[in-house]
Amino acid sequence: MKKILVVLLSALFLYSFAFGNVATQVGSIESEINSAISSMNLSWKADLKESFVAKLETANIGDVEVIFEKLNGYIDLPDEVRERFIEYLKLSYIEEMDEFSIQGMTTTDDLMMSTFVLLEPRAVAESSFVRLEPVRDQFIHGSCWSFATVGSFESALAVQSFGMNGNVDNTFDYSERWGTYHNIDWDIYSFSPDNYVQDKNSLEGGNSYFAMYNLIRYGMMEEEYAPYSEVYLDPREEVPLPPSAYNAPLLKSSRTVMIPPSTSAAELGYSYEDYLNMIKTALSDYGSLAVSFSVPYSFNFYSKGIYSPVEGDYSTGGHAVTLVGWANATDLDDVILAGKTNPDATPILDEEIESYTYVDPTQAASPVFTTTTFWIIKNSWAYDWGDGGYFVIPAISEEQYESGQLGFWEIEGREMYLPIFDDLAHHEGDDLDVNNDGFVDTKDFEYLVEKIGSAEADVISACDISFPKDGKINGEDVAAWVFLYNNR
């Protein structure tokens, strides 16, 4: 009996020690961060809610830093993919690099690349656009990339297929679990000579680049068929799918809008205004975007305001989130993010500002930037993190766009993604008689190919029939013509 009592007391002691340890750590860290925020004159606050801290403790990991490293599960594409040169595996591998070899379905980048499309930026007049969609909870897994991808899928489906203002009423709830079942095998990807993209059931880190392609080739099932609740408390990374998944209907997207990183956009000839408008066009006309960034340590403790890093910050891993809107500086005192769970919630800022100036200590020489546009971003750490589950960061300034000076924590440093749902309804105004001879026949098909690359306004007007329109004549328009010819 005594032994049992001793064991029980020991367990209780260890539990309370662990419990107290995380909360104590959080309190101490927040105090340091808030002190730095104050000295740097920044406009945000570190103050995690008690319920969120209690959830961190259930990870059974004593070190707060390690917990957040686990949550920040976005894995960047290796340099060899982003920049197409390989120094990953040294020595004998390098000697073989000049040779191509036959590649297999499992999937290779050539097929993936042809599913990404650019978007024609339009001049967006709205100074602010806020779309507050359901905030999900990835809990203790590194599955943020699946939540960001599925969040964008739900939003895009609502906007493009039903003309709704996104998934604001939780009309659509698709399965992040299904997304993680088709994570990629990073060992195979890194070690195989041809970068095979091969599936692996894993809740660990991933990347929307691949997850978006899976929406096209596999499709997405609704939450009820493979609910995240199946894995919510399970510490394993490879949990089997529930039986309900096996005959679930799958909805496929058609293609993916890729908004290039700001430096690539500049190289492609887009102006700063075009770049911002491309993002805003995507958000307002097509749905919320899956974006990613490297997480400064202080970010994990954000509660409200305009986030930017503090002195001493460093990256604690990659994180994927969903960009849902933007706000002009003058509107920040009007926009309320936490209203859904807190009737007394207050706006992002208490007072109106014209612009915002901040120091970025993560960059060499700690440059100072001023901006008037801010991104509103949905996290997947539940409603009790941040400002009702959301956070706000400054958008890239024109000076940064021109100079390429970007902090590792800024979302413009990486690609942004958005699923496209093509259907006949999106082509109602498109005339297949592109050569205007009064007949719709194969001569129109040939005429369209002939006009590829044309910069003439009247030709673009007649031949840019793809969805979404990109202001160019290319194979996307030819494919759209074939689709419409066979289905009208």
> How many chain residues touch another protein (CB under 8 A)?
73
Q: Which is nearer to another protein, 183 or 284 (CB)?
A: 183
Tell me the angle at which helices 50-57 and 2-40 cross, rounded to the nearest 10 degrees. 130
Torsion of CA 111, 112, 114, 119, to 10 degrees: 170
Q: How far is the CB of 393 from another protein (least distance, A)?
A: 25
Out of 2, 344, 428, 442, point to the residue binding another protein (CB under 8 A): 442
Within residues 20-49, the interface with another protein by CB under 8 A covers none
Contact between 324 and 377 (Cβ < 8 Å): yes
Residues 335-394 that bind another protein (CB under 8 A): none
Which H/E stretch holds residue 30?
helix 2-40
CA-closest candidate to residue 174, choices 201, 200, 147: 147
Q: Give the pairing type, strands 255-259 and 390-394.
A: unpaired
Q: Interface with another protein includes 103 (CB under 8 A)?
A: yes
Interface residue with another protein, options 40, 61, 81, 359 (CB under 8 A) = 81
In the complex, least distance from residue 18 CB atom to another protein, rounded to whole angstroms: 28
Token pair 């958000």: residue: 283
Does residue 254 bind another protein (CB under 8 A)?
Answer: yes
Q: First-to-last CA distance in the chain?
A: 81
How buried is 350 (Cβ within 10 angstroms: 0-12 exposed, 13-18 middle, 19+ buried)? exposed
Q: Does 91 bind another protein (CB under 8 A)?
A: yes
Angle at 42 between CA 41 and CA 44, to 5 degrees: 140
Write out the binding residues for another protein, residues 443-472 only, by CB under 8 A: 445-446, 449-450, 452-453
Using the rule CB under 8 A, which residue among 69, 360, 422, 430 binds another protein? 422
> Is 252 near another protein (CB under 8 A)?
yes
**x/- string (CB under 8 A) for another protein, residues 199-218?**
xxx-----------x--xxx
When binding is defined by CB under 8 A, the residue of 168, 188, 239, 353 that contacts another protein is 188
Question: Closest distance between another protein and the C-beta of residue 215, in Å?
Answer: 10
- For another protein, the closer of residues 68 and 483 by Cβ is 483
Question: Measured between alpha carbons, how far is 317 from 297 in angstroms, rounded to an integer?
Answer: 9
Q: How far is CA 233 from CA 59, 140, 351, in A?
A: 9, 8, 41
Instruction: Say if residues 477 and 464 touch (Cβ distance below 8 Å).
Output: yes
**Among positions 21, 192, 330, 454, the unique one binding another protein when judged by CB under 8 A:** 192
Please pick, from the candidates 157, 158, 241, 278, the single residue that binds another protein as defined by CB under 8 A. 241
> Residues 145-184 vs another protein: string with x where CB under 8 A?
------------------------------------xxx-
When the beta carbons of 264 and 363 are compared against another protein, the nearer one is: 264
Instruction: Report the number of secondary-structure helices (H) and strands (E) in the chain.
Output: 16, 13
How near is the Cβ of 399 to another protein at its closest, in Å?
A: 23
| Nearest CA-CA partner of 212 in 339, 116, 118 | 116
